[in-house]
Structure formats: C-alpha cells, structure tokens
Amino acid sequence: MQSRPMRSLTLLTLALILTAFSAAQQFKIEYADYGFGNQRVDVTQRLRELAQANVTFRMGNSTFGFDPSPGNVKTLRIHARGPAGHMRLFEYREGSMVDGSRFIGWGGGQWGHKLGQYQILGAVYGTAHRNVDVTQRLRDRYFLPHGKQYVRD
C-alpha cells in the first residue's frame, strides 16, 4: 500500500499528464473560409467575432451574412495548426453546429496574432559535449506555410 505522500505525488503526476494531454489536443486557427468548390470567401474575422460571443453556433449563410454559392450546400473550412505543428483541416457542413472548444483562444477570438509567438533562432539536441544542430528541422516542423501537411478531420 502506498504512503499518503506517495499517493499524493502519484495523483499530482497523473493530473499533470492529463492536463498536458488535454492542452495538446487543441488546435490554433490560422484562417477560415466559407463556400462551395472554388466559390469561397475568407471568413476569419467573422469567425473571431463569433468566437468572442459563443462557444458553439449553427453554421450557415445567416452566420456570415452572405451566400457565396447560391443553390449549393456550403462548408466552413477552418485551417488550424495542431500541437505538433502540422496543419489540419476541419470542415463543417452548412447547418451543422460548430464547437470551438477544440481551438486555442476560442472564447476571446485571440488566435493568429503575431504578439506572443516565438521564432526559432537555433536549437541543438544532445549533451554539452556531443550534439547535433536541429534548427532547420524544428523550423520545418513548426512553421509550415499554408497548404502543406494537412490532416483531414
């Protein structure tokens, strides 16, 4: 049987792991578009406004105030960066509910701002006496341009 301090330490460790896992499952919105086929409109700013007011909302023409492709069923596409730096595409069909709890900064619409972001200046892996420069590998992994390495939801 574990002693009280050991049990507390075990529970604290488990709580930290679960918290880290939960935070790691969130995505940072890069931009969003709405429409059908090649008839799409950037709606990133409108999505920010919705995020400030709601956690969930029903997506459709009335949400964005226009119909970019009359007669067609539109989708909202949210282009987001995952915890490992890869881009991921979330698609919501017209009429579906959008739940922002998957996205970092949803409650205040505070994503994509340059303030507070980091730039990788240099990185090495190994010990003080034996190491390898991994700067470019990290830059390639975490700072991908739009359109590369998407994972579909």
23-69 pLDDT per residue, tens = 446 888 889 999 999 999 999 988 888 888 766 888 899 988 899 99
DSSP class of 104: T
The rounded Cα 101 to chain-centroid distance in angstroms is: 10
**Looking at residue 76, what is its pLDDT?**
96
- Looking at residue 124, its pLDDT comes to 83
pLDDT, mean of residues 70-91: 91
Instruction: Report pLDDT digits (tens) over 101-141.
Output: 888 888 766 665 443 445 567 788 888 888 888 877 766 66
Q: Is the pLDDT reported for residue 21 higher than 60?
A: no
DSSP result, 61-95 = HHHHTS-SSTTS--EEEEEEE-TTS-EEEEEEETT
Q: Give the pLDDT mean for 67-83.
A: 93
Q: Quickly state the pLDDT bin for 90 (edges 50, 70, 90).
A: very high
Euclidean distance between CA atoms 93 and 116, whole angstroms: 33
Q: How many residues does the chain have?
A: 153
What's the pLDDT at 8?
A: 45
Q: Residues 45, 20, 101, CA angle at the centre, nearest 5°?
A: 30
- Give 146's pLDDT tier (boundaries 50, 70, 90): very low
103/109 Cα distance (integer angstroms): 10
- φ, ψ at 93 (rounded to 5°): -75, 145
Q: From residue 133, give the alpha-carbon distance in Å to each of 34, 41, 85, 137, 139.
A: 41, 41, 19, 9, 12
- Report CA-CA distances (Å) from 116 to 79, 91, 112, 135: 20, 28, 10, 20
The mean pLDDT of 68-72, rounded to a whole number, is 94
**What pLDDT, on a 0 to 100 scale, did the predictor assign at position 110?**
65
- Answer for the pair 81, 103: CB distance below 8 angstroms, yes or no: no
Residue 93's pLDDT is 96
